[in-house]
Structure 1
Amino acid sequence: MTLDVARIRGDFPALDAGVAFFDGPGGTQVPRQVAEAMATTMTSGISNRGTVTAAEQRAEEVVVAARAAVADLLGCDPGGVVFGRSMTQATYDVARALAKEWGAGDEVVVTRLDHDGNVRPWVQAAEAAGAGLRWVGFDRETAELTVDDVREQLSGRTRLVAVTGASNVLGTRPDIPAIAEAVHEAGALLYVDGVHLTPHAPVDVAAMGADFFACSPYKFFGPHHGVVVASPELLERIHPDKLLPSSSQVPERFELGTLPYEVLAGTTAAVDYIAGLASSADDRRTRVRESMRAVEEHEEQLFARLLEGLRGTDGVCLHGAPTCRTPTVFFSVDGHEGREVYEHLAAAGVNAPASNFYAIEASRWIGLGDSGAVRAGLAPYTNDDDVDRLLAGIAEVAG
């Protein structure tokens, strides 16, 4: 199956402005179908969830539909889908709840490759509980992080390992199933940041062995909020702080306050949109998987074109060359600050920002300090013309 990129581009009003968006790793553009679903929910009569009035029932239906949609996207149990303000907020909540059971002698493992949203919550939770902390590095040249790198930091005292499914700056995709096996052999839990992986590959949380998997719908055409999923059985064992009258049921006990129904409706619409990108199978889970395989193929071909152009441009330095990666490149141009490159491209209608993008440990680890570099990432709506414009703009800067 292949993507009809021209048709897809027609669904994104933001593309009408003529901008080439390479900032998808920070948040994709939104198709009109998602915006319409959100608007419809907000104007159709809505109230707190219940079973009496039509407005209450509608709110309940929105929540149930969103959990089912996320389950079809990620291959998980809808009863284990937790919604939050952001991935970072959801991760902090889980970390604080788990840390209630940690103490002196326990250890938590984090990596230098991760976005800080999957680092600092665990670092701070471990410190508050008096637990120890271990760091996993990665190859500074290739940006590879291996199961052996993780295994070196495991012990019989390890309680949790936090690792990314894909680096949001270097694109590295660690072998999560292998890491999960090693972590579970040590008797620990595995928390996977899937924010950057989910927009670029089919995800099967159960198959990868993640105990927790977090993602952000605004990275795959949806609205701004966060999701963390786990088995309902695991969630039953965790007791977060909550208000007295709030539900004690799973997953509701993890969701603070009234859920944003219009946002959840937008997330369902985003999953439906993904499912229809390249498949007409009978069930949505199959459509999602088939469509995401088509996304991978499209992005891999386009990314090869981008990498070839960057490697052929004098003065461009690519950071990392992982074997398995998302279509994301982190690069510098000799003699030019990242901000300068960013601003030059923006003036030409090409959005490719420069920063550490909250992957501050990774940026420091590879010698870029807190400034980071320029990042360009592809999306299903990216086409050859976008790539050519990006390469032309970089060549102008490089001279």
Structure 2
Amino acid sequence: MYDVAAVRRHFPALEEGAAHFDGPGGTQVPDVVADTVANTLRSAVANRGTRTTAERRADEIVTEARQAMADLLGSDPAGIVFGRSMTQLTYDLARALAKQWRPGDEVIVTRLDHDANIRPWVQTAEAHGLTVRWADFNPETGELPPDAITTLLTDRTRVVAVTAASNLLGTRPDIPEIAHHVHAADALLYVDGVHLTPHSPVDVEALGGDFYACSPYKFLGPHLGVLTATPALLDTIHPDKLLPATDTVPERFELGTLPYELLAGTTAAVDFLASLTPGDAPRRTRLLRSMTALEHHEQAMLNRLEHALSEIPAVHPHGTPTRTRTPTTLFSLDGVPPSTAHDFLATRGVNAPAGHFYALECSRHLGLGDTGAIRAGIAPYTDDSDVDRLVTAITELTA
């Protein structure tokens, strides 16, 4: 059902000839998304309203983008908040929630997470006299078992922040199980879905998190951040805002005028994902079908890559490959610094970067320090030839 050759024809960037394994840091953009952004900028758009064509167009763009993201995530469009980035949204929410915290309360973060789901909570907790508790993952397997978090819960826990998938290792913690225990402790669960959303069907209600954040530019869209929660929960939180700004949800969390062209591009990205497999149905149904097909394709590409890398003696993978993982592999090379490998691969037209990718605590816990390792991420446009080019280059480098 998944035609990768047809998908690739929609990505002008691929015409430059590189094999892209840098998707975890931001995917390439299909033509329909770029065209939508450009066409929106060419059209008359004003502040949202109902009187003029420009006002109505702006309002429609926002409404459509909220519905598109709700369809992608299985959430309520009235609980979709847009921001500059997931990092900005997380900082803003942490500061708003802190108004309800008291000295001696506690927050839990994990060493598996990207720093965007660590530092906002740590810094806000420190500013308000809260205790920060750290959940450690198994550095041999890369797994974060639920009890790494649940054993830290107390009656003073206010927020638990955990990733739905590690952007460094691809590890996927058992979020529903964690959510069950977090809620039993009367705490809130903030889920970083940035690295899960591009690779798997998402149902935020089934996951059980109170908040779920993601980034459209990781799933073929523009640079933007999205946060979703139930409108009822958002209504209990009061961020700082300008006096004339509306106090309605979700707008009270969106500071200033929204980037209409990027919202239109986000809708286009979601529609493109829904079209990855043929058939007519409501968009949510098409998304679930397409994302399932995409997941199978990406897993096949990852299996091909990891099998080939396992036959190169100098390659040392980090974490234990499992099926409950996004199509992401992290590895080191004997005698070759990660930055050197990054440079060499670039000369071969292979974009497979190296570093800690802002998962600094994770990299350190793996024993990789601040240097990190080589990360290869599979994307919707990855095909057999891309994988073979990466393997050939690694073989040449380590010969």
- The 3-state SS of whatever aligns with 1:190 is strand
Matched, 1:51 2:50: yes
Q: Secondary structure at the residue paired with 1:100?
A: helix
**Cα deviation code 1:207-264 (max 9, x no counterpart):** 1101000000000000001001000000000000000011100000000100000000
Paired residues for 1:298-317 under 5 Å: 298-317=297-316
Tell me the residue number matched to 1:380: 380
The DSSP-based 3-state class of the residue aligned with 2:140 is coil
- How far did 1:189 drift? 0.5
Determine the structure 1 residue equivalent to 2:337: 337
- 2:67, 2:25 → 1: CA distance? 25
Counterpart residue number, 2:11: 12
- Residues 119-147 of structure 1 show CA distances to partners (whole Å, capped at 9, x for unaligned) of 00000111111111100000010000011
Q: 3-state SS of the aligned residue for 2:370? A: coil
How many angstroms does 1:105 deviate by? 2.0
Is residue 222 of structure 2 the alignment partner of residue 261 of structure 1?
no
Correspondence for 1:189? 188
AA in 2 matched with 1:124: Q
Confirm or deny that 1:85 pairs with 2:84.
yes
Corresponding letter in the other structure for 2:326: T
Measure the CA separation in 2 of the matches of 1:102 and 1:132.
11
SS in 1 for 2:256: coil
Q: CA RMSD in A?
A: 0.7
**What is the CA–CA distance in structure 1 between the aligned matches of 2:234 and 2:330, rounded to whole Å?**
36
Q: Distance in 1 between matches of 2:182 and 2:320?
A: 26
CA distance in 2, matches of 1:59, 1:274: 23
Task: Give the match for residue 180 of structure 1.
Answer: 179
SS in 2 for 1:126: helix
Q: What is the rounded CA distance, in whole Å, between the counterparts of 1:98 and 1:317 in structure 2?
A: 42
- Equivalent position of 1:108 in the other structure: 107
CA distance in 2, matches of 1:217, 1:65: 15
The one-letter amino acid of 1:381's match is Y
- For the residue of structure 2 that corresponds to 1:238, the secondary structure is coil
Which amino acid letter does the alignment assign opposite residue 398 of structure 1?
A: T
Contact 1:143/1:322 (<8 A) preserved: no
| 1:271-286 paired onto structure 2 within 5 Å | 271-286=270-285
The answer on 1:234 being equivalent to 2:251 is no
**Counterpart for residue 248 of structure 2:** 249
Q: Would the aligned equivalents of 1:107 and 1:132 in 2 still touch at CA under 8 Å?
A: yes
- Paired with 2:214 and 2:116, the residues of 1 have a C-alpha distance of 11
Per-residue displacement from partner, 1:176-218 (whole Å, max 9, x unpaired)? 1111111111111000000000000000001110100000000
Query: Hey, what's the Cα distance between the residues in 2 that align with 1:35 and 1:87?
Result: 21
Taking the aligned partners of 1:280 and 1:205, their CA distance within structure 2 comes to 24
The percent identity for this pair of structures is 62
The 1-side partners of 2:102 and 2:130 are apart by 5
- Unaligned 5+ segments in structure 1 are none
For 1:142 and 1:14, the matched residues in 2 are separated by: 35
Note the C-alpha offset of 1:269: 0.1
Q: What's the offset of the Cα at 1:279?
A: 3.8
Trace 1:23-38 onto structure 2 (pairs within 5 A).
23-38=22-37
